[in-house]
Chain A
Amino acid sequence: MLEKAIKGSALYWIWLLVLLAVIGVGFGAYLQQLDQGLSVTALDRDISWGLYIAQLTFLVGVAASAVMMVIPMYLHNHKAFARMLILGEFMAVATIIMCLLFVVVDLGQPQRLWNVVLYPTPSSVLFWDMVVLNGYLFLNILIGWVTLQAERKRVGPPRWIKPFIYISIPWAISIHTVTAFLYAGLPGRDFWLTASMAPSFLASAFAAGPALLILLAFAVKIFAIWDPGREAIQSLAKIVTYALAAYLFLIGCKIFTAAYSMVPDKLAHWEYLYFGLEGHTMLSVFMWVSTLAGVSALLILLFPKNRQADNILAFACVLVLISTWIEKGMGLITAGFVPTPMKEVLTYAPTGPEILITLGIYGLGFLIITVLWKVGIGVRREIEA
């Protein structure tokens, strides 16, 4: 099936070349980081995770959200997703690969990564995160490939793949739960130390993932001239709406606990996040953008008429992505570290190399999505022709 990836229009090849250029620049910046260490980043003793781990957190959610098509399709026989599911699964493959790369570029000693396997440590959530992320990658490659091959031969998927599909449902939930537990189990980090971490991670993931999928589906419609199906997109739009409401609700719950209890250790993080402390206000600008984008998107999406208009739906999906990307990325990470255990207030602004490396990994992710979707859509076209 892979041969479908090497037959494409001029536009396809130009797009791949652009992505390759972005990847190349990012790789160059990574070589610099390898040489000079993480000193090329803006990280320091107090804010010791930043842009890379923020992307990991955000993208694990996007990957997990493939389950929002698997559940309706396989548990409720919602056939509208039949044409599009493969795109969701392939998107999950690409985003998990990005996640793993973001872990690697964040390491101070990446060549020792294998130590996690040599000295497995069940008490460490990071160990489990590696287990579930790799497992999820394997599941999605397997399921995506086997179901696509079956479709190509115009037969139903083999029976043995069914258990893997069912396992992939709780597995998707697990990757994001475990990622939330990276934060939610740390004593003394009051911003993260809350049981609502995993639920709010899942809520924002199920808003962001399908929103990205809708946008990519529109892109496919325009550039590949292949329509993933109106009903599928409309179902996804409903999922985005519900999940977005849950995501905003959970933020509200967290703010209530901090603001009403007035426990300084909890409140200070939220003050820093939304108003800034001691003149450090950069993050709060982003947070207001995030919150306003999220609330506006919800106000738009609540009305079925808006969801049914492609332009408005696309616009709302962009707002959802902006909102969740800021909130779950830089907002969540930086405000977790600030104020520091020594009650210091700091600002973290990623450096050029950090940004280039991040863009490089996104470039690779989009390259993988493009190639896999090309194959998936090619097969679909063949069947439908």
Chain B
Amino acid sequence: MEEKAKLSLLTLCNHCDNPPCVRVCPTQATFSRDDGIVLMDFHRCIGCRFCMAGCPYGARSFNYHNPRNFLNEDELSHDFPTREKGVVEKCEFCAHLLDQGERPACVEAAEGVLYFGDLNDPESEVRKVLRDRYSLVRKPKLGTEPQVYYLI
């Protein structure tokens, strides 16, 4: 058998269509937005970490430390509020950029490797790529309906 080299993969939040993290949250601090993006309300989260146990992909992390202790004032972007300790964090698809009509920062930085768009729109760039190339989602058997596809 041929040895497979270890690949580095992005294991970001899948923004599941049927997200267990949202189901288990006792305060609705994590929720699905109408456009399908799974977001956090950092001011409501009580830090119970049930959503971390509920996410089958290890896509959530927690601010055990006060994140502000690790910030470098000079490099701060003031477009976005700093975070606090004791709440859960996750990939938000840069919802604040999307709301300004921009694309997520990772997609912007990895031009031509990462694609982003509306899966419900047959004419969107993502749908075109998915039509042309073979793709996988992580753990489809669990019924979480991931919205992040890995192109092969």
Question: Which A residues have a C-beta under 8 Å from some C-beta of B?
Answer: 36-39, 41, 43-46, 48-49, 103, 106-110, 112-113, 115-116, 118-119, 121, 123-127, 130, 182-183, 186-189, 336-337, 340-342
5 interchain pairs (CB within 8 A)? A39-B64, A186-B20, A188-B139, A188-B142, A337-B53
7 other A-B residue contacts (CB within 8 Å) besides A109-B46, A121-B26: A36-B65, A109-B47, A115-B27, A118-B27, A119-B27, A186-B56, A341-B56
Question: For the complex, what is the distance from the CA of A39 to the CA of B58, rounded to whole Å?
Answer: 19
Q: Which residue of A lies closest to B23 (CB)?
A: A123
Contact at A124–B86, with CB atoms within 8 Å? no
Contact at B86–A107, with CB atoms within 8 Å? yes
Q: Which residue of B lies closest to A344 (CB)?
A: B58
Given A45-B58, A48-B53: A186 in contact with B24 (beta carbons within 8 A): yes
Q: Which residue of A lies closest to B44 (CB)?
A: A115
Shortest Cβ distance from residue B41 to the other chain A in the assembled complex, whole angstroms:
10
Contact at B65–A127, with CB atoms within 8 Å? no
Residues of B in contact with A, size category: 35 or more
Contact at B142–A187, with CB atoms within 8 Å? yes
Residues of A within 8 A of B44 (CB): 112, 115, 119
Among A49, A110, A130, point to the contact of B53 (Cβ < 8 A): A49
Given A124-B24, A127-B26, A130-B26: A45 in contact with B57 (beta carbons within 8 A): no
Question: For the complex, what is the distance from the CA of A45 to the CA of B57, rounded to whole Å?
Answer: 12
Question: For the complex, what is the distance from the CA of A49 to the CA of B63, rounded to whole Å?
Answer: 14
Residues of A within 8 A of B135 (CB): none
Shortest Cβ distance from residue B85 to the other chain A in the assembled complex, whole angstroms:
4
B61 part of interface (Cβ distance < 8 Å): yes
Question: For the complex, what is the distance from the CA of A340 to the CA of B29, rounded to whole Å?
Answer: 24
Contact at B86–A109, with CB atoms within 8 Å? yes
Question: For the complex, what is the distance from the CA of A336 to the CA of B56, rounded to whole Å?
Answer: 12
Shortest Cβ distance from residue A197 to the other chain B in the assembled complex, whole angstroms:
13
Residues of B within 8 A of A126 (CB): 24, 26, 48, 50
Question: For the complex, what is the distance from the CA of A85 to the CA of B25, rounded to whole Å?
Answer: 37
Q: Which residue of A lies closest to B25 (CB)?
A: A124
Residues of B within 8 A of A341 (CB): 55-58
Residues of A within 8 A of B61 (CB): 45
Contact at B53–A37, with CB atoms within 8 Å? no
Residues of B within 8 A of A130 (CB): 26
Shortest Cβ distance from residue A107 to the other chain B in the assembled complex, whole angstroms:
5
B39 part of interface (Cβ distance < 8 Å): no
Residues of A within 8 A of B86 (CB): 37-38, 107-109
Residues of B within 8 A of A110 (CB): 46-47
Contact at A48–B62, with CB atoms within 8 Å? yes
Contact at B26–A109, with CB atoms within 8 Å? no
B124 part of interface (Cβ distance < 8 Å): no
Nearest 8 CB-CB pairings of A with B: A108-B47, A188-B56, A108-B86, A341-B58, A37-B85, A124-B26, A126-B26, A39-B64
Residues of A within 8 A of B54 (CB): 186-187
Among B11, B24, B88, B142, point to the contact of A342 (Cβ < 8 A): B11
Contact at B49–A116, with CB atoms within 8 Å? no
Contact at A44–B64, with CB atoms within 8 Å? yes
